[in-house]
């Protein structure tokens, strides 16, 4: 009960800072979201209160994105935060990961396997959270920026400097590996007036880290519009895992993550850590 209250308080504190610009709000989970607010295609479905982009089976691909186009701020300004959890890896390796995507149209679902449900989606920008080392990837644990359906990231980095996460010596269980089963929080901020993109992540139990800082990209030009369908994609191939989104908020301003990628204040970080721990505890109780 105490942990649940702490999680609720933390989410409320974060939401209160960003409420003015919030246009998508699944801070409390995704119950009933598919078909009512979200278009869920391929293998994506709501599992309890979780948006399960793909189950832990081979050859899956799925996407969940807004049913209507979201009007972004000037120059496609937006900010977003979400929690994800990747569990039950199997097959040849944990695979393949998720993307957060903004797209002009509703083509919805891209390639499976290494395509991460995003490959081939034109007029789009995606932030990939990639957990498998394909030939075109730098390693098996990286966050990158993609556009126009290509998974060859224009810029990338590995969370907490951890680049190798697979079944060898169970390295995927290590802190910093996105497939380690822990709750991860992601914060993405784009200021369309400066055309600068910032991405930060926090693994449950670790400090928040900024992975991409002031990356120059003209998102409005790539999309060809200021109204975008936004959401998530994922896929599995011969490797697999559950790709779950636990919560999500999106604003059409920079209020969720501050201009220039300012990180939350230390007090907010403590709340985030408590919220992540409480969410995981509650989830395990529900699934136990």
- Does residue 170 have a pLDDT over 90? no
Q: 67 pLDDT exceeds 90?
A: yes
- Are the beta carbons of 104 and 228 closer than 8 angstroms? yes
In the structure, what pLDDT confidence band is assigned to residue 257 with cuts at 50, 70 and 90? low
Would you kindly state where each structural domain of the chain is located, as residue ranges? 2-287
Average pLDDT, rounded, for the chain: 86
Sequential DSSP letters for 181-209: SS-EEEEEEEETTTTEEEEEEEETTS--E
pLDDT tens digit sequence for 212-222: 999 999 999 99
Higher per-residue pLDDT: 261 or 233: 233
Q: DSSP string covering 253-271, please?
A: SS-SSBGGGBPPPHHHHHH
What average pLDDT does this structure show over 9-16?
A: 43
Q: Which residues pair with 102 in a beta bridge?
A: 125, 230
CATH topology of domain 2-287: Jelly Rolls (2.60.120)
Query: What pLDDT does 20 receive?
Result: 60
Could you tell me the pTM of the whole model? 0.83
Task: List Cβ neighbours of 145 (8 Å cut-off, separation of 6 or more).
Answer: 125, 126, 127, 128, 153, 154, 155, 156, 197, 199, 212, 215, 217
Give the mean pLDDT of 168-179.
94
The answer, yes or no, to whether residue 106 has pLDDT greater than 50, is yes
Average pLDDT of span 243-249: 97
């Amino acid at each position: 009960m105490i942990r649940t209250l702490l999680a609720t308080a933390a989410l409320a504190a974060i939401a209160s800072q960003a409420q003015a610009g919030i246009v998508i709000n699944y801070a409390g989970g995704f119950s009933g979201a598919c078909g009512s607010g979200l278009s869920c295609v391929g293998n994506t479905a709501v599992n309890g209160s979780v948006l399960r982009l793909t189950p832990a089976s081979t050859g899956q691909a799925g996407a969940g994105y807004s049913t209507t186009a979201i009007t972004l701020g000037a120059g496609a300004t937006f900010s977003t935060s979400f929690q994800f959890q990747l569990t039950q890896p199997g097959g040849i390796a944990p695979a393949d990961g998720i993307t957060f995507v903004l797209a002009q149209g509703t083509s919805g679902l891209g390639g499976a396997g290494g395509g991460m449900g995003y490959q081939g989606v034109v007029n789009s920008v995606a932030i990939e959270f990639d957990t498998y080392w394909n030939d075109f990837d730098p390693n098996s644990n990286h966050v990158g920026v993609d556009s126009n359906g290509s998974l060859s990231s224009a810029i990338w980095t590995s969370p907490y400097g951890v680049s190798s996460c697979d079944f060898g010596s169970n390295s995927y269980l290590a802190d910093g590996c996105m497939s380690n089963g822990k709750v991860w929080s992601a914060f993405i901020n784009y200021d369309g007036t400066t055309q600068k993109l910032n991405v930060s992540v926090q693994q449950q139990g670790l400090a928040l880290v900024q992975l991409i800082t002031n990356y120059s990209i003209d998102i409005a030009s790539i999309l060809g519009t200021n109204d975008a369908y936004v959401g998530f994609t994922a896929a599995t191939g011969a490797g697999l895992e559950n790709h779950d989104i636990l919560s999500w908020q999106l604003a059409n301003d920079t209020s969720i993550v501050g201009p220039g990628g300012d990180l939350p204040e230390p007090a907010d970080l403590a709340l985030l850590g408590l919220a992540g721990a409480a969410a995981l505890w509650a989830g395990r109780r529900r699934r136990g």
